[in-house]
């Protein structure tokens, strides 16, 4: 069983009544839009989305609600924005901070739209929503009242669970200061059942300065928000959340998840949702982070991969395993290879297909209702070679490798893949993926006598070939290898060394057939003399 089914089995058991009533299960996740969204956030989005996708496959209704949080205080500035312009807005709720680009509603708009551009092509069933309108519409009024009434118990929960106590005059609420508009700087000190007493404190937090205003006001209808741990729990109740996981950082003993779960159960009398804790997405891009001045955004990484392969990246490992992603290393070529390997299992091209490979391939497809089409796809290694050889035509070489004409769908897939491969080769690929055809024998080519004799003979045979094709070249190499009793490594390595000065490369028969026949013969004879 693949991990997605392990989770949906547990989900169906816990919510069997709701499912029998035909009510949709509510799945939720969120991101605060305080800057460009980091690629790491895609793991949570895809994880929740794939659970919704698998439930749908099993005819269980669900709604995956993804929150674009525009209500949190601005407590830090992304370094690639105008610091002087935005510094005075520190401490305000994000929806009240001006937009980064003209024409946008507020500070969060562009970041939310960019995230959607990265996520939507993966075809996950997502309902995007903003938090601010829910507060404004009074949806949080009841939980705000419960939190204020239960303030003493919430303070105890913080103390019991995390050991970090709150002072006796601390209330789980931040009002928006009616004078300066900041929310991060206000402290509520009393609650009489109708109104809260508050002060906008000059030095309440390090990252923003309050105006000193004091007063009483209603905490309802958008005037205030809950601090994040009680708010996390409050959202579960307000939206009726059944399923919500979180990143590993929230799951330390005494961490935020535990605090939120306890507040949910004791203060809001709402059961904590079905939980999935997931490991980190470790990003190791040096060039990307250096040029942008930040970690890589979801959009930048999404641009490096076809949507189905981005989706595949996020689901092929079970949630408790970290995902390591180095766009300047072997991650991307390995990812394409792994996707192809999984396709082989899905389409039974293997004697013993393995569900752990076949399943993530199927799940990664963009339209889950459509049976995946069995396409011939060019391997990353071969494609990376073709895109670097201006004298080669991609479709022609693909047909040679496939052994027959490509279907229309295969042509589309080929050109899509080629565009990603080319982009990667041109920008991020390490030197070992750059192919340079050699004109002379490389230095330090160390051949034993048997290899020399074999390569010399191979040069003559290839020079005499009547038909110059991948198959005929492959055949000659194979026969020569057998005749001279060489191991595959003993013959392939020098071939790659002689022609591209590397120890490995694309499928050798086809690769040599893309070069000039006479040149191949001459180089082999010269190198083995």
Q: Which is nearer to Zn ion, 15 or 95 (CB)?
A: 95
Please calculate the CA angle 41-129-119 and round it to the nearest 5 degrees.
40
Side-chain half-sphere of 321: how many Cα atoms within 13 Å? 10
Q: What is the DSSP letter of 316?
A: S
Per CB under 5 A, the list member of 56, 63, 134, 211 interacting with Zn ion is 211
Rg (CA), the chain: 30
**By CB under 5 A, residue 180 contacts Zn ion:** yes
CA distances from residue 454 to 439, 449, 504, 518 in whole angstroms, order as listed: 21, 9, 19, 18
Side-chain half-sphere of 251: how many Cα atoms within 13 Å? 11
Q: Which is nearer to Zn ion, 176 or 495 (CB)?
A: 176
Rounded least distance, CB 205 to Zn ion, Å? 12
Using the rule CB under 5 A, give the single segment among 53-61, 199-207, 289-297, 453-461 that binds Zn ion: 199-207
CA distances from residue 23 to 126, 466, 493 in whole angstroms, order as listed: 17, 70, 62
Rounded least distance, CB 183 to Zn ion, Å? 9
Rounded least distance, CB 130 to Zn ion, Å? 24
**By CB under 5 A, residue 201 contacts Zn ion:** no
**By CB under 5 A, residue 224 contacts Zn ion:** no
Per CB under 5 A, the list member of 116, 213, 214, 452 interacting with Zn ion is 213
**By CB under 5 A, residue 177 contacts Zn ion:** yes
Q: Which is nearer to Zn ion, 222 or 273 (CB)?
A: 222
* Pairing of the two strands 25-32 and 62-69: parallel
Which of 126, 121, 120 lies closest to 26 in space, CA to CA? 126
Using the rule CB under 5 A, give the single segment among 46-54, 211-219, 345-353, 398-406 that binds Zn ion: 211-219
Rounded least distance, CB 194 to Zn ion, Å? 22
C-beta contacts of 18-24 below 8 A and 24+ residues apart: 18/242, 19/60, 19/61, 22/61, 23/61, 24/61, 24/62, 24/63
Which positions from 429 through 468 interact with Zn ion, judged by CB under 5 A?
none
Q: How far apart are CA 64 and CA 24, in angstroms?
A: 10
Rounded least distance, CB 168 to Zn ion, Å? 24
DSSP string, 129-175: EESHHHHHTTTTHHHHHHHHHTHHHHHHHIIIIIS----TT--S-EE
* Pairing of the two strands 127-130 and 62-69: parallel
Using the rule CB under 5 A, give the single segment among 195-203, 272-280, 307-315, 429-437 that binds Zn ion: 195-203
Rounded least distance, CB 147 to Zn ion, Å? 22
Q: How far apart are CA 89 and CA 42, in angstroms?
A: 28
Q: Which is nearer to Zn ion, 117 or 190 (CB)?
A: 190
**By CB under 5 A, residue 214 contacts Zn ion:** no
Q: Which residue has the tokens 């009726």?
A: 240
Q: Which is nearer to Zn ion, 180 or 462 (CB)?
A: 180
Rounded least distance, CB 166 to Zn ion, Å? 22
Q: How far apart are CA 507 and CA 489, in angstroms?
A: 13
Rounded least distance, CB 136 to Zn ion, Å? 20
Q: Which is nearer to Zn ion, 14 or 213 (CB)?
A: 213
Q: Which is nearer to Zn ion, 2 or 198 (CB)?
A: 198
- In this structure, are residues 277 and 44 in contact, taking their beta carbons and an 8 Å threshold? no
Q: How far apart are CA 484 and CA 482, in angstroms?
A: 6
Q: Which is nearer to Zn ion, 181 or 463 (CB)?
A: 181
- The distance between the two most distant Cα atoms of the chain, rounded to a whole number of Å, is 98
Using the rule CB under 5 A, give the single segment among 124-132, 169-177, 278-286, 312-320 that binds Zn ion: 169-177
Q: How far apart are CA 62 and CA 291, in angstroms?
A: 41
User: Binders of Zn ion: how many residues, by CB under 5 A?
Assistant: 7
Which of 308, 357, 326 lies closest to 39 in space, CA to CA? 326
**By CB under 5 A, residue 294 contacts Zn ion:** no
Tokens coding 31:
């991101």
Task: Name the phi and psi angles at 486, rounded to 5.
Answer: -100, 150
Using the rule CB under 5 A, give the single segment among 60-68, 77-85, 212-220, 312-320 that binds Zn ion: 212-220
Which of 100, 53, 101 lies closest to 360 in space, CA to CA? 53
Using the rule CB under 5 A, give the single segment among 165-173, 203-211, 364-372, 422-430 that binds Zn ion: 203-211
Rounded least distance, CB 178 to Zn ion, Å? 8
Rounded least distance, CB 84 to Zn ion, Å? 21
Rounded least distance, CB 177 to Zn ion, Å? 3
**By CB under 5 A, residue 200 contacts Zn ion:** yes
Q: Which is nearer to Zn ion, 211 or 465 (CB)?
A: 211
| β-bridge mates for residue 325, sequence order | 283
Q: Which is nearer to Zn ion, 184 or 494 (CB)?
A: 184
Applying CB under 5 A, the residues found at the interface with Zn ion are: 177, 179-180, 200, 210-211, 213
């Amino acid at each position: 069983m693949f991990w997605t089914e392990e989770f949906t089995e547990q989900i169906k058991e816990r919510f069997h009544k709701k499912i029998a009533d035909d009510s949709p299960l509510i799945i939720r996740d969120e991101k605060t839009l305080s800057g460009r969204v980091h690629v790491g956030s895609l793991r949570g989005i895809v994880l929740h989305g794939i659970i919704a996708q698998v439930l749908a496959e099993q005819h269980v209704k669900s709604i995956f609600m993804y929150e674009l949080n525009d209500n949190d205080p601005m407590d830090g500035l992304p370094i690639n924005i105008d610091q002087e312009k935005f510094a005075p807005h520190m401490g305000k709720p994000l929806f009240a901070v001006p937009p980064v680009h003209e024409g946008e509603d507020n500070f969060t708009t562009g970041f939310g739209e960019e995230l959607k551009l990265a996520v939507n092509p993966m075809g996950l069933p997502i309902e995007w929503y903003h938090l601010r309108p829910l507060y404004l519409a009074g949806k949080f009024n009841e939980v705000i009242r419960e939190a204020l009434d239960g303030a003493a118990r919430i303070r105890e929960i913080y103390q019991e669970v995390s050991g970090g106590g709150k002072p006796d005059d601390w209330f789980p609420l931040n009002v928006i200061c009616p004078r300066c508009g900041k929310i991060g700087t206000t402290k509520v000190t009393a609650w009489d059942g109708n109104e809260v007493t508050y002060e906008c404190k000059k030095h309440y937090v390090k990252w923003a300065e309050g105006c000193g205003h004091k007063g009483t006001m209603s905490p309802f209808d958008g005037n205030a928000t809950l601090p994040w741990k009680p708010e996390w729990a409050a959202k579960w109740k307000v939206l009726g959340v059944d399923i919500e996981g979180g990143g590993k950082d929230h799951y330390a003993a005494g961490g935020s998840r535990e605090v939120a779960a306890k507040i949910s159960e004791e203060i809001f009398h709402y059961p904590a949702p079905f939980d999935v804790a997931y490991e980190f997405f470790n990003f190791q891009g040096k060039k990307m982070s250096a040029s942008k001045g930040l970690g890589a955004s979801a959009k930048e990484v999404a641009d490096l991969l076809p949507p189905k392969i981005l989706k595949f990246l996020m689901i092929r490992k079970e949630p408790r395993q970290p995902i390591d992603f180095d766009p300047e290393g072997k991650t991307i070529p390995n990812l394409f290879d792994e996707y192809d390997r999984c396709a082989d299992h899905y389409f039974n091209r293997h004697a013993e297909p393995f569900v752990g490979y076949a399943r993530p391939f199927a799940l990664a497809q963009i339209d889950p209702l459509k049976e995946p089409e069995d396409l011939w796809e060019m391997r990353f290694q071969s494609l990376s070679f073709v895109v670097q050889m201006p004298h080669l035509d991609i479709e022609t070489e693909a047909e040679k490798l496939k052994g027959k004409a490509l279907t229309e769908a295969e042509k589309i897939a080929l050109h899509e893949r080629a565009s990603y491969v080319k982009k990667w080769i041109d920008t991020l690929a390490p030197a070992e993926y750059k192919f340079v055809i050699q004109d002379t024998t490389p230095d330090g080519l160390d051949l034993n006598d048997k290899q020399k004799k074999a390569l010399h003979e191979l040069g003559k045979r290839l020079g005499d070939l009547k038909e110059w094709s991948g198959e005929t070249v492959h055949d000659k190499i194979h026969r020569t290898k057998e005749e001279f009793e060489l191991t595959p490594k003993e013959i392939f390595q020098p071939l790659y060394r002689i022609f591209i000065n590397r120890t490995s490369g694309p499928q050798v028969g086809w690769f040599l057939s893309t070069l000039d026949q006479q040149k191949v013969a001459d180089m082999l004879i010269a190198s083995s003399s």
